[in-house]
Chain A
Amino acid sequence: GENVEQHPSTLSVQEGDSAVIKCTYSDSASNYFPWYKQELGKRPQLIIDIRSNVGEKKDQRIAVTLNKTAKHFSLHITETQPEDSAVYFCAAIGYSSASKIIFGSGTRLSIRP
Chain B
Amino acid sequence: NAGVTQTPKFQVLKTGQSMTLQCAQDMNHNSMYWYRQDPGMGLRLIYYSASEGTTDKGEVPNGYNVSRLNKREFSLRLESAAPSQTSVYFCASSDRGANQETQYFGPGTRLLVL
Contact = CB atoms under 8 A, between A and B. Distances in A.
B42 A101 contact: no
Contacts, number: 49
Interface string B73-114: 000000000000000001000001100011111111000000
Given A44-B90, A105-B42, A100 B58 contact: yes
A89 interface: yes
B41 to A, nearest CB: 7
B90 A97 contact: no
Interface residues of B, number: 25
Tell me which of B30, B56, B101 has the highest count of chain A C-beta atoms within 10 A of its own C-beta: B101
B34 interface: no
Interface of B: 30-31, 33, 41-45, 48, 50-51, 56, 58-59, 90, 96-97, 101-108
